[in-house]
Amino acid sequence: MTTNAQETLYKNCTIDLSLYLKDKNDLLAIKECQKAANALREYGILLVKDPRVTEKDNSQFIDLMEDYFAQPLEIKLKDSRPDIGYQVGVTPEFMETPKCHRDPNCQDIISRMPEESRPLISSGPDVKWRFFWRIGELPKETKFPQLNAEPVIPDTFKNIWPTIMSQWGNQLNQAILTVAEMTSVGLGLPANTLPDLAKNGPHLLAPTGSDLNKYGKLNTILAGFHYDLNFLTIHGKSRFPGLNIWPRNGSIKVPVKIPDGYLFVQAGKQLEWLTGGEIMAGYHEVIVTEDTIKAIENAKKTQPDRPLWRISSTFFLHIASDNSLETLVSCKPNLKLYPTILAGDQVKHELGLIELLKED
């Protein structure tokens, strides 16, 4: 994608939350809500400026996760919970399989892309690790206890883990809930529509960790081509580039470069479901690019004593497991593609497709 085209994309998708936070009824704030909804419709992404979010907390969080993932294998595996589909705690490398390399619909999407914009095709599980840390209140009752389990606190970091993880996770949570509220307004719905559906959802601060000492070679796939199964995903800035996205209104691959002080948002499958496909879940991949390698070389020179791991500063907002996914009143229903289903059943089905959880 050309620089000019990328600048146009970012211009159309950049949202300032401060206008809405200052006065939700102000005309400029309402226009910003409409811009957010339109950007999600047209591109499936947002670049968000939130005055409540600090880069210092993101940096502290990434430091912690670098130290965590740099631990020996046997220590990390104590935090793994495979019996509940790894929905809290750590997911080891080679466990999550991108469904796109064997899904006919996904293969069709890739085949229609220009050759130069196609993703790298994975042939097996991702090399990335992941940690899921629960954010927000759990439901008092649920049909889906696997998806709403108690958090795991690593022994090595038990004195600082809950504070640092929750501090950063809560910042991302409040930012993405504001985006959900603004999107509701932009779709012509009451402001609380989408946030209420997400109340007591299984929200997760979900950093990935990729060992760049082992997997730092050009064109290594860290996370294969996929969409997110949840409602909305928000990212802080990573220290190593490599995230590529495919905007909805075209098949052009765009390397993501989050400006300082901004957060990056992508639509997930649950939002696609709720809007009957009016907003589509965004496809993306994480690979080792030439810019990644430059960042690796710089890190080796400037911070030779730090772990060389790529950490994603990722947060997944979910619709509450026991709430139904059904088309919002402002959108046209497509019951063939998006039948009414409990959010928890949709998540369990998706986890089965990426081989993290066996369906009942």
| pLDDT (tens digit per residue) in 99-136 | 776 788 888 888 889 999 999 988 889 999 999 999 99
The predicted pLDDT at position 250 comes to 63
Percent of the chain whose predicted confidence (pLDDT) is above 90: 79
The predicted pLDDT at position 62 comes to 98
Nearest to 176 by CA among 322, 48, 58: 48
The mean pLDDT of 224-245, rounded to a whole number, is 96
The predicted pLDDT at position 326 comes to 95
Q: Is the pLDDT of residue 222 over 80?
A: yes
Q: Is the pTM of this model over 0.85?
A: yes
Nearest to 347 by CA among 339, 357, 337: 357
Name the phi and psi angles at 14, rounded to 5. Answer: -90, 125
Q: Is the pLDDT of residue 351 over 90?
A: no
Cα dist from 310 to 64, 75, 129, 314, whole Å: 12, 19, 10, 12
The predicted pLDDT at position 107 comes to 86
DSSP alpha helix (H) spans, 128-192? 161-186
Give the separation between CA 99 and CA 49, rounded to whole angstroms.
32
Q: What's domain 3-353's superfamily in CATH?
A: B-lactam Antibiotic, Isopenicillin N Synthase; Chain (2.60.120.330)
The predicted pLDDT at position 10 comes to 85
DSSP alpha helix (H) spans, the chain? 3-13, 17-22, 27-42, 55-69, 73-76, 104-111, 161-186, 193-198, 212-215, 269-274, 290-302, 343-353
The mean pLDDT of 76-94, rounded to a whole number, is 95
Cα dist from 259 to 44, 93, 264, 288, whole Å: 18, 29, 9, 20
Q: Is the pLDDT of residue 2 over 60?
A: no
The predicted pLDDT at position 57 comes to 95
The mean pLDDT of 323-331, rounded to a whole number, is 93
The predicted pLDDT at position 99 comes to 77
Helix and strand element counts for the chain (H, E) = 12, 16
The predicted pLDDT at position 122 comes to 86
Do strands 14-16 and 45-49 pair parallel, antiparallel, or not at all (unpaired)?
A: parallel
pLDDT in tens, 272-302: 999 999 999 999 999 999 999 999 999 999 9
Nearest to 164 by CA among 127, 131, 209: 131
The predicted pLDDT at position 232 comes to 98
In the chain, where the domains are located: 3-353
| Residue 130 C-alpha from the chain's centroid | 12
Name the phi and psi angles at 3, rounded to 5. Answer: -60, -40
The predicted pLDDT at position 217 comes to 97
Cα dist from 325 to 128, 178, 272, 318, whole Å: 30, 20, 10, 11
